[in-house]
Structure 1
Amino acid sequence: MKLRELAHGRTGDKGNTLNVSVICYDGKHYPYLHTILTPERVKAHLADVVRGDVVRYELPLLGAFNFVLGHALGGGVTRSLALDAHGKSMSSALLDMDIGEPPGDAS
Structure 2
Amino acid sequence: MLLHDLAHCRAGDKGNVATLSVFPYEEHLFPLLSREVTAERVREHLAEFVAGEVVRHELPLLSALHFVCHQVVDGGVTTSLALDTHGKSLSSRLLSLPIDVAWTPLPRAAT
Q: Where does structure 2 lack aligned partners over 5 or more consecutive residues? A: none
How many residue pairs are counted as aligned between the two chains? 107
Secondary structure at 1:48's aligned position in 2?
A: coil
Q: Which moved more, 1:19-28 or 1:84-93?
A: 84-93
Give the structure-2-normalised TM-score: 0.87
Q: Relative to total residues, which structure has the larger helix share, 1 or 2? A: 2
Cα displacement (A) at 1:73: 4.6
Residue equivalent to 2:2 = 2
Gaps of 5+ in 1: none
Partner residue, 2:50 = 50
What's the TM-score, normalizing by structure 1? 0.90
Aligned AA (1:62): L
Instruction: Output aligned runs, 1:8-47, within 5 Å.
Output: 8-47=8-47
Counterpart CA distance in 2 for 1:77 and 1:100 is: 32
Give 2:87's aligned residue: 87
> Structure 2 vs 1, CA of residues 84 and 101 (structure 1 numbering), >3 Å: closer, same or farther?
same
State the identity %: 50
RMSD between aligned alpha carbons?
1.8
Deviation at 1:46, TM superposition (A): 0.6
